[in-house]
Amino acid sequence: MSTLSDVFAAAKAESRAALIGYLPAGFPTVDGSKEYLRSMVEAGCDLVEVGLPFSDPVMDGPTIQAAAEQARSAGFRVRDLFDVVASVADAGGRAVVMTYWNPVLRYGVDAFARDLAAAGGLGIITPDLVPDEAGDWMAASAAYGLDRTFLVAPSSTEERIAMTARASSGFLYATAVMGVTGARDVVSSAAPELVARVREHTALPVGVGLGVRSGAQAAEIAGFADGVIVGSAFVSAVAEGDAAVRALAADLAQGVRSGVAATV
Amino acid sequence: MGQFTPTPHDPDARGHFGPWGGRFVPEALIAAVDELAAEYDKARLDPEFVNEFKRLLRDFAGRPSLLTEAPKFAEHAGTRVWLKREDLNHTGSHKINNVLGQALLTKRMGKKRVIAETGAGQHGVATATACALLGLDCVVYMGEVDTERQALNVARMRLLGAEVIPVKSGSRTLKDAINEALRDWVTNVDETHYLLGTAAGPHPFPLLVRDFHRVIGIEAREQILEKAGRLPDAVVACVGGGSNAIGIFHGFIDDADVRLVGVEPGGSGLDSGSHGATLTAGTPGSLHGAMSYVMQDEDGQITEAHSISAGLDYPGVGPEHSHLKDIGRAEYFPVTDAEAMEAFALLSRTEGIIPAIESSHALAGALKLGPSLGPDGLLVVNLSGRGDKDMDTAVKYFGLADGGQA
């Protein structure tokens, strides 16, 4: 089985950044999310983040909030998440899960890790779980061979970046701006500085997310980061249908290949 | 013991009360809660801060609040009842204690903008009041449903100079107002303090909100000893997020013979599924930054709370209450909307005090508890707020506009 390190190593071997696309499981329906995620993989996403729609998404802006609500009102259940992950893996894609922590707690941290690994998932991105509170997850991820992606932010101190990097595996998620998810017109000036600070502390690949929506922005971020993370823009593209999703992935895939050669 | 003296009941350095509490927030907010915790650690030991806080409580909020015996109400409870009169504070509830404390902390941190959530509007009005007093910009997030239910409080906040933003996401009530305030905070954290209204959320909020309300219990203990000559058999308070309860409980927490009793909103009854009795019927989970009991479905999706009292309509609860429940130091049970409204009318009629519907839950709890204590028993009930804000609800519930009688 491939691992997250392989994803980034393969991109690096091509002197480019990896493209990471996000879509909530169950959006717009469970079957629909499987199809769109497959399209994202086929059109150039090196890795997909499968979101778990949650009732109280405090890190998300209006686009992803609305998608989560739509998924839940269409009947999404947590067990569907593993189906969606498995369908990505079956299609030859690589998937991690991005989830708020309460649904994992409720499912049982160990059981969640077990079922995610069985479905072919590679790890979990945890937007509201910091390493300080992650004892159970450290143990479960080690037991089932899953990667842990914690987040760092422009407000993180050097000590916290170092600590967060030590707790992470696979890749680190750098939030480009102080804020919530949502497409923005310009790449934050805080992002390159944050990535540079992270690199002082770790050799782990660094993905940059929050606010990316175009190939040009992807190219800019690919100039200093190892992965470009795109979420809200994919959610918006779903409203326009499969061709729009594929076109966005292709544009972004082009972008990560035209960045100033990936650093480090 | 002073209001800010560290106690054996304080959480650990990362905010844990046993397995509860902690910090389940985005990394982007950790620097802000660290800054707040560090500032509070300094402030609680700084006589200048403590004295300024006490001065505002005395000269602005009107403390100490009275302890009033309620003999005619007590006839219905079958035991003696004293009321801690937080309803007499400026702005009409205990909320003023916490907002004055946090507004002073905001100034100490050099921040100029305050954001807050509100359900019924009590905390929003109190926050807008403190911001007007201390010259801070104020933005209050309020679920759209609540802005309609509590239009008068929206007007009060605007009169006090606050901007009120109706929240249209999720269930458009208190929990969504908190989500939106957290989103604002993560975006504007450099210049903004999030003035959380209850003893919940990430560390250090449960600790500092509790400490700002400890004055309630400290006063009540002195007053009951002076007036009744002994400690009460039980202290009774309503629990939504749990700030008034934790404030009065702490005055008596080391008095092992004093029962600490929290009364939860039972809504239409626990069997109906339509309630907010988080401690009685919830399960462990993380919501709004802390581990505590929460109301959730089997997938870990947070469910909506229901109570006739908008101020108790919350699917979470402060982590220290989860701890006190687990270790058996406090006990919690629900009363229904109907029981609370009966107590609301009873206190109004027998004692000439119109209580908040939140506080009416504590009164209904006292009516249930009283008979087991007998005529020599002694209860202190935290009358956390006044009922003026609830008249719309009362008019509808009792049909008062149509000549109805409560």
Considering only the beta carbons, identify the residue of A55, A155, A180 that sits closest to B31: A155
A104 dihedral zone (left: phi>0; alpha: psi -120 to 50; beta): alpha
The pLDDT confidence band at residue B172, using thresholds 50, 70 and 90, is confident
Q: Is B78 exposed, middle or buried (0-12, 13-18, 19+ CB in 10 A)?
A: middle
SS3 assignment, position B205: helix
B349 domain-assigned = yes
Supply A36's token pair. 């769109």
Q: Are residues B190 and B265 in the same domain?
A: no
Going along chain A from its start, the domains and CATH numbers come out as 4-148+209-259 (3.20.20.70)
Mutate to test the interface with B, among A69, A76, A133, A163 (most CBs of B within 10 A): A133
pLDDT at position A189 is: 83
Q: What is the pLDDT of residues A84-93, one digit of tens each?
A: 999 999 999 9
Nearest alpha carbon to residue A83 among A49, A122, A50: A50
pLDDT at position A1 is: 43
- Alpha-carbon dihedral angle through residues B297, A75, B180, A128, given to the nearest 10 degrees: 60
The pLDDT confidence band at residue B167, using thresholds 50, 70 and 90, is very high
The pLDDT confidence band at residue B1, using thresholds 50, 70 and 90, is low
**How much is the average pLDDT of A90-108?**
97
Report whether pLDDT(B145) > 90: no
Residues of B in contact with A130 (CB under 8 A): 23-25, 27, 30
The question of whether A128 is a catalytic residue gets the answer no
DSSP sequence for B168-182: -STTSSHHHHHHHHH
Q: Are residues B31 and B131 in the same domain?
A: yes
CA-based nearest distance A48→chain B, Å: 21
pLDDT at position B210 is: 98
Q: Are residues B249 and B141 in the same domain?
A: no
Q: Are residues B230 and B311 in the same domain?
A: yes
Instruction: Quote the strand ranges of B271-370, DSSP E.
Output: 283-287, 289-294, 330-335
pLDDT at position B325 is: 98
pLDDT at position B156 is: 96
Q: Are residues B193 and B245 in the same domain?
A: no
CATH number at residue B365: 3.40.50.1100
Q: Are residues B379 and B345 in the same domain?
A: yes
**Residue A103 and residue B31: Cβ atoms within 8 Å?**
no
DSSP sequence for B89-117: SGGGBTHHHHHHHHHHHHHHTT--EEEEE
Nearest CA in chain A to B298: A106
Q: How many structural domains is chain B composed of?
A: 2
B3 domain-assigned = no
B6 domain-assigned = no
pLDDT at position A150 is: 98
B404 domain-assigned = no
Residue A47, CA distances (Å) to A44, A214, B116, B352, B365 in order: 9, 17, 38, 67, 55
CB within 8 Å of chain A, chain B residues 349-368: none
**Residue B22 and residue A133: Cβ atoms within 8 Å?**
yes
- Pick the catalytic residue: B309, B322, B384, B389? B384
B201 domain-assigned = yes
- Supply the range of the domain harboring residue B331: 67-92+213-398
Instruction: Give Rg (Cα) of chain A.
Output: 16
Q: Are residues B258 and B220 in the same domain?
A: yes
Supply B386's token pair. 């006044």
Report whether pLDDT(A263) > 60: no
pLDDT at position B48 is: 97
The question of whether B95 is a catalytic residue gets the answer yes
Q: Are residues B78 and B112 in the same domain?
A: no
Is the minimum CB–CB distance between A134 and chain B shorter than 8 Å? Answer: no
Q: What is the pLDDT of residues A200-236, one digit of tens each?
A: 999 999 999 878 899 999 999 999 999 999 999 999 9
Considering only the beta carbons, identify the residue of A103, A105, A178 that sits closest to B186: A178
- Pick the catalytic residue: B117, B264, B339, B342? B117
Is the minimum CB–CB distance between B59 and chain A shorter than 8 Å? Answer: no
Q: Are residues B182 and B244 in the same domain?
A: no
